[in-house]
Amino acid sequence: MKISSRDLLIELGTEELPPKALASLSRAFERLFCEGLKAERLEYAAISRFATPRRLALLVENLSENQADRDTERFGPAVKAAFDADGAPTKAAQGFAKSCGVEVSELATAEKDGVEKLYFSSVEKGRTTVELVPELISKAMQQLPIPKRMRWGASREEFVRPVHWLTVLFGHEVIPMTLFAVESCGTTRGHRFLSNEELLLDSAADYEQVLEETGNVIPNFHKRRDSVRKLVTAEGKKAGGQVVMDEDLLNEVTSLVEYPVALSGAFDEQYLELPPEALILTLKSHQKCFCITDADGKLLPHFVTVSNLLSKDPAKVIEGNERVIRPRLADARFFFDADRQQSLESRSPSLEKLIFQDKLGTVHDKSARVAELAAWIAGQVGADADKCRRAALLAKCDLLTQMVGEFADLQGLMGYYYALNDGEDQEVARAINEQYQPRQAGGELPTTMTGAILAIADKLDTMVGMFGIGQPPTGSKDPFALRRSAIGILRIIVDRELDLDINQALAQSIASYSGKELEAGIEKSLSAFVFDRFKAWYAEEGISATIFQSVSSVSPGRPLDFHRRVQAVHKFAGLDEAAALAAANKRVSNLLSKQKDQPDSDAVKQELLQEQAEKDLYEAIQQKQSELAPYFESGDYSAALPGLAGLKAPVDRFFDEVLVMAEDEAIKQNRLNLLRQLRNLFLRTADISHLHND
């Protein structure tokens, strides 16, 4: 039987919601409510979410009016245990019947797992959507990811902001419920200033159209964001340039307005002497304004702001924004000029007053450790150790500047500008900014060798310190972003093709913590932690976990070497011969693991080779060892591993025609040694037995 359906509208009207949390709250509301619908077996065609500064809303299309009826069946005790010798029902039978709400005589019997048991079946009548929706809405609202809730008025209920209205409309029908001390209704409200009145909704489906045409509100977040983007871009062109389109700022501005209107203003050209990043951040952070550049990417003395209403006198709005922006830029200019009066190097002693971590000492201590580690790494990879040491000693000094004190996001970047002002080497200056790269997943990597080494050393030092005091990442908690640091290290090493042994680097870093009590044995866990980040990396590239495991099992200590092995195995796995050779390696591995006594050598005595198949395999192995040795030694696994595919035929023939576990102990051991040579040849790249049944 076809179940009838209607559209459901849910809208929660509030005071202005936190702009940076609006999108995540909207997504979470949709997800939680959909999970509730699924759990209650309520079918629907589609769902749309809406979010503005004053509202969170969902429109569920063609939501069924009730749950489908459900057949239920229950099995009770075995028939033998359900009745006594006289055929009277036992307590077990009576208890089962009571739990089913019937008499024992109304129960049937059915076989389950070969045993005849009491059985009861019934049809569970589906509940109506009108009954279920209030509970689903309340549950979803209570589970929203709100870091800090608030109370208002006399109510003791809590939410992210005070709630003013609640719309719950199922088709044309208002579903009655109370949430946050507000009764549900069939109306919405328009723009706070342009249409601040109740708007009657004839049906749930009218919601978006009524708000747009009557309420001066664009409720769809994505549609409103597209509108903001177009309006801001157009204003940038009017000002003679192009807008610097910051996606985070675009999302935040979209979360601040319901009826976007873009306006452009200007500021004094003297402020263009500020570092462009500082100028952009000043306008973005304080006034939520977009900057404008010319065709060459140079900043122009203009900005674009987005208003939440269409003013009768736009010039006054622009003038107000310009008036507020002026002192902000003046402050930034003052900070920049004042900071340049003191060199970065002169600030270094003051880092002693800045705590890195209570148990790990000051930022000055960290800088000294990183400097020595960076110089050591430079020696390992043939870079300039003096530049690396110098960059590390200056790297954290900009934390004490006024500009970074005002804008924490500029740390490293302001160090770059101040280092240039101090006359430091260009690469040293750039490395100070690159020490934090990549700043986010998939972010930009250092472009200088000094920057790459400094970034690795800084991240390793933090990881060693936090693991050393027993504070590694746990579950979803990673306050020091150690997972991001680890994958950042791997990305840098692979990108720069640095032949660095991570285990040696960890040991060097641990040694630099002299005087600090670090937990014993952290080198092994840290190494596993770092290399395990490769797994997520490869998963994104479509490389299976078994390929990762095949390389991980041979424990290469150099990330670049590890990466090359994985790429080679991934390529090898696509060959026709791969499956058979993986199976053969698995078989060899099982055979060898069962041998209690491991020989000192895998040398094969040719005079003990009896069968032609084992002689052919021996010759093939010797040929491949000689032929592929240069590739293995140079780490060119992509050339070496495919070369082993030629062993498929002699390996198959060997297992078809040769009895490995011969009665003669000498012959048996000789054949095992032959297989050990075969396995060791593959192990020079990876343990491909893991690919069997992949």
Q: What is the CATH number of the domain that holds 499?
A: 1.10.3210
| Integer Cα distance of 104 and 77 in angstroms | 12
Asked if the structure places residue 408 within a domain, the reply is: yes
- Where does residue 214 rank: exposed (0-12), middle (13-18), buried (19+ CB within 10 A)? middle
| Among candidate residues 264, 283, 34, the one with its CA nearest the CA of residue 143 | 34
**402 and 298 within one domain:** no
**583 and 482 within one domain:** no
| Integer Cα distance of 592 and 527 in angstroms | 28
Asked if the structure places residue 453 within a domain, the reply is: yes
Asked if the structure places residue 347 within a domain, the reply is: no
Range of the domain at 291: 221-339
In this prediction, residue 331 carries a pLDDT of 94
Give the other-Cβ count within 10 Å of 37's Cβ: 22
In this prediction, residue 475 carries a pLDDT of 79
**464 and 581 within one domain:** no
**372 and 334 within one domain:** no
Task: Copy the structure tokens of residue 628.
Answer: 């592929």
Final residue of a domain: which of 291, 307, 339? 339
Q: Do residues 93 and 104 make contact, with C-beta atoms less than 8 angstroms apart?
A: yes
**191 and 330 within one domain:** no
> How many domains, in total, are found in the chain?
5
In this prediction, residue 73 carries a pLDDT of 84
CATH number (domain holding residue 147) = 3.30.70.260
Final residue of a domain: which of 298, 315, 339? 339
Asked if the structure places residue 549 within a domain, the reply is: no
**568 and 681 within one domain:** yes
Q: Would you list the DSSP string of 28-96?
A: HHHHHHHHHHHHTT---SEEEEEEETTEEEEEEEEEESBPPPEEEEEEEEEHHHHB-TTSPBPHHHHHH
* Spans in the chain with pLDDT lower than 50: 1
In this prediction, residue 1 carries a pLDDT of 44
| Among candidate residues 123, 125, 84, 124, the one with its CA nearest the CA of residue 104 | 84
Asked if the structure places residue 143 within a domain, the reply is: yes
In this prediction, residue 600 carries a pLDDT of 66
Asked if the structure places residue 350 within a domain, the reply is: no
Mean pLDDT of the chain: 92
In this prediction, residue 520 carries a pLDDT of 87
Encode pLDDT of 19-64 as tens digits: 999 999 999 999 999 999 999 999 999 999 999 999 999 999 999 9
In this prediction, residue 693 carries a pLDDT of 67
Backbone φ/ψ region at 122: left (φ over 0), alpha (ψ -120 to 50), beta: beta
**48 and 75 within one domain:** no
To the question of pTM greater than 0.95 for the whole model, the response is: no
Alpha-carbon distances of 179 from 17, 128, 182, rounded to whole Å = 17, 20, 5
In this prediction, residue 106 carries a pLDDT of 84
